[in-house]
Structure 1
């Protein structure tokens, strides 16, 4: 079933979407199986994505970016999710970390890091989660202590997306351990030949197996004070909160694209599959289940379309972004489960995309802030 184009699309964005889809299908999909087996993409994928203009699409051209808008980011995120290419997290690299630097960095920091991120020379990661601190960022234990002209960064991080290849890491650390949220700062760490920095094991995950997810360790790592993002200590928590609506909306965009792919795969399967002498699609239960899934996917697409419009005009709030994130990821898992059931036993086989979607989608309810945290954000906005 054809899905109407979002209201924010125009002719130029449609061309960009078409070319982006072809790039993912031609250049990256063929390598996904190899990447899944080795639990990470090859380092060259970042250079390739840079050459193709897929990195930092919304960064100003003066910093080497594509000069686009959030609409371009949403298209890349949607097409990457539709293609089921998880070997590199462009969302973390381009749509989140690059915007931290653009919005809070000094001119020197922007000139130093953004052009290299646009080419893939630098791979970005955000080191938030710790073994004892996930969604509760105020509880991080990693510290960045001043010593002369440097910060001494000590601590460990886990579940770090792009963790294997990242050589520019935004570390969430306490510059004042006694100040709670007001003691959190963002310190940029360039890892090349950096004493005291080491990567732990690649984490074996339920899904998204081609995406490198790692533990990181900072053993008295010395980082120039000029690498503090925002110039003033204690702004990290506020900086993170200001950028989270963008991150959560991108997760919702990906969930909508995955729902669409799941339904399309299942419709094709049920039309071809013969059961009791007739196509599976001719059975009323099949038709009703697909009708339910189509309805949910259509509602999700309309809601996310509105959220993208609000992000583009600067009116998307934390609560609405939380609604989009939790509801679309919840519905994505529900729709995929229904679609897997319609595949029967074949739906449990990893050679079928629906089985991989089932495993890949589940983390959507966890990362970017768990869905329970999303509901708390919404509830607080109702009683504020």
Structure 2
């Protein structure tokens, strides 16, 4: 749903200009330094990008799901690390509080998240709990008007830069399943929190992840999201469902950039006396990429509109995430092939995208987890 087409198009124009003039020229610097310039992060704050999904009443842009997806199509025509700067705040950092937080929690945190004054990370994954999120071992034991948290979280995106964590911890050790998990807002500066070294990753330089250790960290009971124990897993799943459409839109944007670069190279590069874009086998790779990209875009918009209508989109969200992330990997692979030897060289940038997009098939639920969700939903619906 697009609420005000004219206003929204003006926002898209500003994002396109930002990508073209600021982000694309900084791609090599970010890849070389593994850092995103603070000036760019500040511009993101000023543009309101940290508050995309936060209601206007709390200072955000309050984009609908369709508007968010279309904006991501444009914002992600560059290195995905730039989107990662805002990703955890736009997603679980704000949405868990927005969906299930108390009024006091919303009033205090959402305005600060919307401006980028606070940035947030989602602390769910552990050394022994990833795809099986319900098996997490980090505990939060009630002690008076506080909870005492102990445990380790792994691969936490933006942890080195975040001011707060949306933490998933087990408040009922006797309940080994999802029902024993609760969600908390944790000040990243709390005594007892320590960070591991930044992970050395295959790609996405500039987007940082690391371990987060909690050693007898005291968290005020008022920071229990929603004020009710045992609801954390449900909160996480609701936000991740929305996040899967978000990530699918990211894949569409990045794939479009990769395909644009490959097409431009194919038109300019000559072999056997003509541009390689004239060769039918090169055209076949371009055509396959275009068709799959178009399909993913249509899927994302359809799922986004259904969600805006208030319909259940668990299956659609997983379909989008699965198809778009796999599609993006195939487009990147074909782009390397189209560029030939140049595709293997760092100076052309395609090999960097090839490495960057591999992550899309892993986080926020692997392809295999999406298959399980889709299959289970199909069986459940068939049985009525």
**2:23 & 2:159 partners in 1: Cα distance?**
20
Q: Deviations over 1:279-309 (max 9, x none)?
A: 1111111112211211111122112221111
Q: Which has the higher helix share?
A: 2
Aligned-residue RMSD, C-alpha: 1.9
Cα distance in 2, alignment partners of residues 258 and 352 from structure 1 = 16
Assess, with a 3 A threshold, how the Cα gap between structure 1 residues 127 and 44 changes in structure 2: closer, same or farther.
farther
Aligned-pair distance for 1:272?
A: 0.3
Return the offset for 1:229. Answer: 0.4
* Mapped contact 2:255–2:331 kept (Cα < 8 A): yes
Aligned residue in 2 for 1:188 = 185
Aligned to 1:360: 356
- The answer to whether structure 1 residue 239 and structure 2 residue 239 are counterparts is no
| Matched residue, 2:12 | 17
1:301-316, aligned counterparts within 5 Å?
301-316=297-312
Please name the residue that 1:126 is paired with. Answer: 122
**Tell me, what secondary structure is at the counterpart of 1:230?**
helix
Structure 1 residue 370: deviation in Å? 0.8
The counterpart of 1:36, out of the listed 31, 35, 57, is 31
Aligned pairs (5 A) from 1:369-380: 369-380=365-376
Q: Using structure 2 for the length normalisation, give the TM-score.
A: 0.93
- Say if 2:179 and 2:230, in contact at 8 Å, map to a contact too: yes
Distance of 2:94 and 2:70 partners within structure 1: 17
> Which shifted more, 59-68 or 323-332?
59-68
1:155 aligns with 2:154: no
Deviation at 1:61?
Answer: 2.1
Residue in 2 aligned with 1:3?
A: none
Aligned-residue offset at 1:35: 3.0
Tell me how far 1:255 sits from its aligned partner.
Answer: 1.1
Q: Within 5 A, what are the aligned runs for 1:167-316?
A: 167-179=163-175, 180-192=177-189, 194-316=190-312
Q: Deviations over 1:319-374 (max 9, x none)?
A: 11111111111111112111210100110112223211111111111101111011
Question: Tell me, which stretches of 5 or more residues in structure 2 are unaligned?
Answer: none
Structure 1 portions without partners, runs of 5+: 1-5
Contact 1:29 1:85 in 2 (8 A): no
Aligned ranges 1:56-135 → 2 under 5 Å: 56-87=51-82, 88-135=84-131
SS in 2 for 1:176: coil
CA distance in 2, matches of 1:319, 1:375: 10
Scaled by the length of structure 1, the TM-score of the pair is 0.93
Taking structure 1 as reference, are residues 148 and 7 closer, same or farther at Cα in structure 2, changes over 3 Å only?
closer
